[in-house]
Amino acid sequence: GAVVSQHPSWVICKSGTSVKIECRSLDFQATTMFWYRQFPKQSLMLMATSNEGSKATYEQGVEKDKFLINHASLTLSTLTVTSAHPEDSSFYICSARIGLANTYEQYFGPGTRLTVT
Amino acid sequence: EDQVTQSPEALRLQEGESSSLNCSYTVSGLRGLFWYRQDPGKGPEFLFTLYSAGEEKEKERLKATLTKKESFLHITAPKPEDSATYLCAVQAGHAGNMLTFGGGTRLMVKP
């Protein structure tokens, strides 16, 4: 149980284009989903928190207009990197929290490697 | 400000050589401490949640313990397949659902 999937697993795009990454909880309903960014040999950096049906909460320094997050249902959240540039190249990972009282575990997806050329 | 510090940053062990990884934390109102394993190019894999001091959890060769200031991940008789980065994270009561991660410990187990 508690499986989170991401699609695509890797993507290469040209500078100036937009890329959408999907995050799905496969066998549970996720009241809250999170998007992280990870640089090589570094720990995870939280970008934003999204709750189903409401606007995402972005961490300081994360551009809302550049990283669009939509949490359309209890099993799906999407991250769209708009007008991507080479500095946006990174490993993006989503996680989901099971919507049970007093349960705080977050389960992570396998990640999406974005390369902007 | 919530802080999580993991040590050592990197650890090399021979197969069968038991050791411990440390996670020191400073947090206001600990809601939970989490251990994850991350393989290169993959997302973190959930291992354990610890909620209160004195709690212990085990899974195969791994055992996690928690005190009021730190957590240890003990690895007994490790195998090469245990090689990975181990991440510790805390969730504070004031921080909603946000996790604060440590920098991780890169473990390499040589045969």
Q: Which residues of A touch B36 (CB under 8 A)?
A: 108
Q: Within an 8 Å CB–CB cutoff, is residue B15 touching chain A?
A: no
Mean pLDDT of chain B: 94
Give the C-alpha separation, A86 to B27, whole Å. Answer: 36
Q: Kindly tell me if the per-residue pLDDT of B36 is higher than 80.
A: yes
> What pLDDT, on the 0 to 100 scale, is given for residue A102?
64
Q: Which residues of B touch A34 (CB under 8 A)?
A: 97-99
Write out pLDDT tens, residues B87-99: 999 988 776 778 8
Q: Across the interface, do A106 and B87 touch by the CB < 8 Å criterion?
A: no
Mean pLDDT to the nearest integer, A55-70: 93
Share of chain B above pLDDT 90, in %: 85
Give the C-alpha separation, A110 to A4, whole Å. Answer: 8
The Cα diameter of chain A in Å comes to 44
| Cα angle value A11/A15/A18 (rounded, 5°) | 60
Name the residue of chain B whose CA is nearest to A48's CA: B98
Q: Kindly tell me if the per-residue pLDDT of B35 is higher than 90.
A: yes
Q: Which residues of A touch B41 (CB under 8 A)?
A: 91, 111, 113
**Which of B31, B41, B98 lies at the smallest CB-CB distance from A49?**
B98
- Whether the CB-CB separation of A71 and A33 falls below 8 Å is answered with yes
- Whether the CB-CB separation of B98 and B38 falls below 8 Å is answered with no
Q: How far is A115 from chain B (nearest CA, A)?
A: 14
Mean pLDDT to the nearest integer, A27-44: 89
Q: Kindly tell me if the per-residue pLDDT of B102 is higher than 80.
A: yes
Question: Of the given ranges (A61-65, A95-99, B17-21, B27-31), which has the lowest mean pLDDT?
Answer: A95-99
Which residue spans within B27-69 are E strands per DSSP? 30-38, 45-50, 56-59, 62-66
> What pLDDT, on the 0 to 100 scale, is given for residue A1?
65
Q: How far is B44 from chain A (nearest CA, A)?
A: 6
Q: Kindly tell me if the per-residue pLDDT of B4 is higher than 70.
A: yes
CA distances from B38 to B4, B41, B65, B90 (A): 17, 8, 19, 16
Write out pLDDT tens, residues A75-102: 999 999 999 999 999 999 999 987 666 6
> What pLDDT, on the 0 to 100 scale, is given for residue A92?
98
Q: Kindly tell me if the per-residue pLDDT of A105 is higher than 90.
A: no
Q: Which amino acid is at B82?
A: D
